[in-house]
Amino acid sequence: MTITTDARRAGRPAHAAGLRARHRREAGLAYLLLVPALAVFGVFTFYPFFRNFKLMLYETPPVPGLPAHYVGLHQIGPVLSSTQFTQSLLTTLVFVVLVVPTSLVLGLALAVAAHRKLKGMAVYRMIFSSTVVSSVAVASVVFGTLLNPVVGLLPWLGINPTPPALESTTWALPAVAVITIWQFLGLSFIIMSAGLQSVPDELLEAAQIDGAGTWTRFWRVTVPLLSPTIFFAVIVSTIYAFQSFGAVDILIGYQNAAQVHANVLIYEIVNTLQVQNNPGAAAIMATVLFLITLGLTVLQMRFLERRVHYGG
Amino acid sequence: MAQVSFEGVTKRFGDTVAVDALTLTIPDGELLVLLGSSGCGKTTALRLVAGFEEATEGRISIGARVVNDIDPKDRDVAMVCQSYALYPHLSVARNIEFPLRQRGMAKDQRAVKVKEAAATLGLDSLLERKPAQLSGGQRQRVALARAIVREPQVFLMDEPLSNLDAALRIQTRADIVALQDRLGTTTLYVTHDQVEAMTMGDRIAVMSHGVLQQVAAPEDLYARPANTFVAGFLGSPGMNLLPGHVTQDTGDGLADGPADGAGGGGRVEVSAGSLPLPPGLHRAAHATTGGVVLGLRPEALRIDASGPLRAIVTIVELLGAETHVICQSPDGSQMIVRQTAQAARPSPHEQVRIAVDPDPASLHLFDATTTERLGAG
């Protein structure tokens, strides 16, 4: 007995040291395997992210060729209070409000329609999800053609707005929103369809036999069970809407975007950097966009999570 | 409460016939068990009553109403299924209350009904919990409470005990029978478990390949199976089925089988040996042109050196209270002898002789061509 106990005591430190060495080796291997992924993230995500904070502290003179100089936090106030920024922020918020609910409701409606076990439904599913693979350029050109005041769909239908939709302060942003909604519809449909697959048929049948009609089954059973999916789709589509600017760039352009109230924030950032050559101001706006996205995500998670049913 | 009836009901899914010309009446207040292996059409038959499937042909009635074209919600039936189908986002109370809400019952009335149903199933202390916080047995009781709360005309139960562990299954089985007995609601109960069927059903309807094989009280079904399928399906293990033929008794004195009334009768010859037939059975068998199948329940057999049948033991299974001696006849057909654990156990590969219970009811004879039972017995 004594011998065994002593042997154990003697063996314990050696055993622990062996374990530590093994953990070190394993950790080393783990980091080694992480290097390629870390390198990509480092170069394309982490470095630009932190560099952005540095850029915020420097002001670039309006005259090209002169070096940027350190101004600390002094230029933040003027940039954030500029009409340029406030206008584009307001435009973006309107744009998000136009895009997110509509694309989600339409995506859900299409998913519900395609969820029925009918012949040929696979073809509809393919059509409904196809917008996810179309590029923003293609979508913009197609919609631009449809909205064209001479050869487009609107004049063909006898609608000839003056000024044309994409040049109107009222209709330019909704027109761009329609393109974005159309583009996001495919993904929204796929997400909602996947969610619907997880709603057990027995539950809907139980509700049916319990006396619930189609609407009641949808609102009282499908939607609550779909809430994790809807929650996810809201976050994804909000971020997507905040970051969309391709259609504005292709169909409206920087010169007109502000005039027709379609200069969404990310487009303003791109142009502040590239056209106005003002990295400092662009970095400040980019940080605001980052904080808004972060804040929204946290808010959505906090508030929606309470109302989300996760099953189990 | 109401009678449920199927009149020539057929359900096809494409080329597959799930239920084939089913004609069956479940009288008011009866608990009828639909029994069969998976894919036999029993669940489809239940879903036809619920209204989740549409009959291809035939009429389904609940009470005086033909319900073929009536929506599930208007059929006044309640269903309990294997997965319980509880609404995971609602509390136990809200789950039980759900069907009452859909029918527009006033809040205070609903509260009273929910309380009653919960008390009946011992759920009083669990009303505020969500289904995820309940055990399998508790969920099952919530599903039952949701079914009984609105006092439907018919209960439909689709393998409701399958997800419970063995001990709980026995308890819940008894609870369901007691509940059904008390409420007197017509019940269709689907199961593949013959023990459930035998212990719960007022009558059992055995189905195979969409066709109703036999409907009878459990004891009748066991004692007088209508065909070889029912004979082999019911019982654990099922009836031994030995192919053979009937001959005229030659009076060679081998009268140690079920022999009382054998004088002047015939014999049934199987590869394991020959047994005298009671006169009634002999007459019935005589009318058949082809061969017969001899049916012997495992418990009607015993290993006995003076027995008329011979076989070779292949496996001996000790199950605690009893032993199954699995033997092989000379023609390769299997014969199982069910004996008490105390009885002497033969060894594998040993040649044994097997005696048959002298009660004439121990012998079952089936037409080898039609597989139907021979004789009125």
pLDDT in tens, A262-300: 889 999 999 899 888 889 999 999 999 999 888 877 877
Asked if the C-beta of B79 comes within 8 angstroms of chain A's C-beta atoms, the answer is yes
Nearest CB neighbour to A211, from listed B79, B88, B99: B99
Whether A65 has a pLDDT exceeding 90, the answer reads no
- Determine, for residues B89 and A202 on separate chains, whether the beta-carbon distance falls below 8 Å: no
For an interface test with B, give the residue of A209, A221, A225, A309 to mutate (most B CBs within 10 A).
Answer: A209
Looking at residue B254, what is its pLDDT? 44
The 3 state secondary structure assigned to A195-246 is HHHCCCHHHHHHHHHCCCCHHHHHHHHHHHHHHHHHHHHHHHHHHHHHCCCH
Mean pLDDT of chain B: 91
Return the closest-CA partner of residue B203 out of B180, B221, B229, B186.
B221
φ, ψ of residue B154 in degrees (nearest 5)? -140, 140
Nearest one of B209, B207, B247, B198 to B230, comparing CA atoms: B207
Q: What's the pLDDT tens digit per position in A91-133?
A: 999 999 999 999 999 999 999 999 887 788 888 888 888 888 8
The domain A82-307 is classified under which CATH number: 1.10.3080.10, 3.55.40.20, 1.10.3720.10, 1.10.260.40?
Answer: 1.10.3720.10
Whose tokens are 């010859």? That residue is B269
Residue B251 pLDDT > 80 = no
Give the closest of A208, A220, A311 to B88, CB-based: A311
B73 contact A CB<8A: yes
Mean residue pLDDT across chain A = 86
In chain A, which residues have their Cβ closer than 8 Å to the Cβ of B99?
210-211
Separation CA B160–CA B144 (nearest Å): 9
Is the CB of B136 inside 8 Å of chain A's CB atoms?
A: no
* Residue contact A209–B87, C-beta within 8 A: no
pLDDT exceeds cutoff 80 at B304: yes
Is the confidence at residue B4, as pLDDT, over 80?
yes
Residue B154, beta-bridge partner list: B77, B186
Residue A4 has pLDDT above 60, yes or no: no
Amino acid A309: pLDDT = 58
Percent above pLDDT 90 for chain A: 43
Tell me the two tokens of residue A250: 């292709």
Q: Do B50 and A205 touch (CB under 8 A)?
A: yes
Question: Mind listing the pLDDT tens digit for each residue in B234-243?
Answer: 998 999 999 9
B309 beta partners:
B354
Report how far apart the first and last C-alpha atoms of chain B are (Å, whole number).
35
Query: Which band of pLDDT confidence, cut at 50, 70 and 90, is reported for residue B264?
Result: low
**Interface contact flag, A221 B78, Cβ < 8 Å:** no
In angstroms, what CA-CA distances link B49 with A76, B3, B152, B161, B191?
A: 71, 12, 13, 20, 16
On whether any CB of chain A is under 8 Å from the CB of B13, the answer is no
Q: Indicate if the pLDDT at residue B180 is higher than 70.
A: yes
- Of A71-85, A153-167, B127-141, B295-309, give the lowest mean pLDDT range: A153-167
Of the candidate ranges A52-56, A152-156, A168-172, the one whose mean pLDDT is the lowest = A152-156
Give the per-residue pLDDT at A55: 92
Mean pLDDT confidence for B18-26? 97
Q: Average the pLDDT over A238-256 and give the result.
A: 88
What percent of chain B stands above pLDDT 90? 80
| CATH topology classification for B233-367 | OB fold (Dihydrolipoamide Acetyltransferase, E2P) (2.40.50)
How far B121 CA lies from chain A's nearest CA (Å)? 19
The answer, yes or no, to whether ipTM is higher than 0.90 is no
More confident: B309 or A62: B309
pLDDT at residue number B274: 93
Nearest Cα of chain B lies from the Cα of A209 at a distance, in angstroms, of: 5
Q: Which residues of A touch B103 (CB under 8 A)?
A: 211
Cα atoms found within 13 Å of the Cα of residue B172, Cβ hemisphere only: 22
**Among chain A residues, CA nearest to B81:** A202
Q: What is the mean pLDDT of residues B179-196?
A: 94
For residues A156-167, average pLDDT: 78
For residue B94, the SS3 value is: helix
What does the pLDDT look like over A176-217, one tens digit per residue? 999 999 999 999 999 999 999 989 999 999 999 999 999 999
Chain A and chain B share a number of CB contacts under 8 A equal to: 59
Write down the pTM of the prediction. 0.79
User: Average of pLDDT values for A34-38?
Assistant: 94
Class of B4-227 in CATH: alpha beta
Q: What pairs with residue B155 in β-bridges?
A: B78, B187
User: Minimal Cα–Cα distance from B73 to chain A, Å?
Assistant: 4
Higher pLDDT, B93 or A154: B93
